[in-house]
Amino acid sequence: MENINMHSDVAKKTGTTTVGLVCKDGVVLGSDRRATMGYLIASKDVDKIFEIGDGIAMTVAGSVGDAQKLVRWMKAEIQLYKLKHGKDITVEATATLLANVLSQYKFYPFFVQLLVGGSDRDGNHVYSVDMLGGVTKEDFTSTGSGSPIAYGVLEELYSGSKSTYENAKVALKSINAAMRRDSASGERADIVILDKKGFKRLKTDEISKLL
């Protein structure tokens, strides 16, 4: 994650690696767990994947404060949507809502890179949302300082015809590759599976089995 202090003479920055993969039976999201400030490892156990709705989650890379505010904001908006319409919001509508929020703050933007992924009545989806509200639908994608390394693995091993279990291995390999080469990504990988059953964060022993 990247934490930028706009009121400091020296911006405090951190990096990260997040990935999102669309599978035949759901979606896989992954990230590392390290937060850094310059050359300092500020934390070795940071959540970067958040459940924001039923079967929908968001990965965050960027300003810590901005990311936390957006997670709280989206959780509230999704609950309001369900109360107002009497049904769960779709992944596409969630990404559009998030993009609209970010677009309203172009002059004082949130310093974030976000992925929205999930499984809904329309299928399995991953969307990449930039800090100015730009949205792209992806089969697989990565954000953060380690993303160029992660992409090398994803390009080689990802397939949309694979199951969430098979692509969880691909996500894990891509994050591990990034952690070996990107100093701002590290500690361990966090893997989340989203399908018709909802949100599942893999436990440490389950991730070990994937290796």
Q: Which of 20, 153, 159 is nearest to 95 (CA)?
A: 20
Phi-psi region at 187: left, alpha or beta (left = phi > 0; alpha = psi -120 to 50): left
180 C-beta neighbours (distance < 10 Å), count: 11
Contact, 179 vs 48, CB < 8 A? no
Selecting among 16, 59, 94, 143, the annotated active-site residue is: 16
Residue 16 catalytic? Answer: yes
Residue with tokens 């989650």: 57
**Kind plus residue range of the DSSP H or E element containing 136:** strand 135-138
Per-residue buried b or exposed e for 145-173, using 16+ beta carbons within 10 Å of the residue's own CB: bbbebbbebbeebbeeebebebbbbbbbb
- Measured between alpha carbons, how far is 87 from 61 in angstroms, rounded to an integer? 29
Angle at the Cα of 8 (from 7 to 14), degrees rounded to 5? Answer: 105
Catalytic site positions: 16
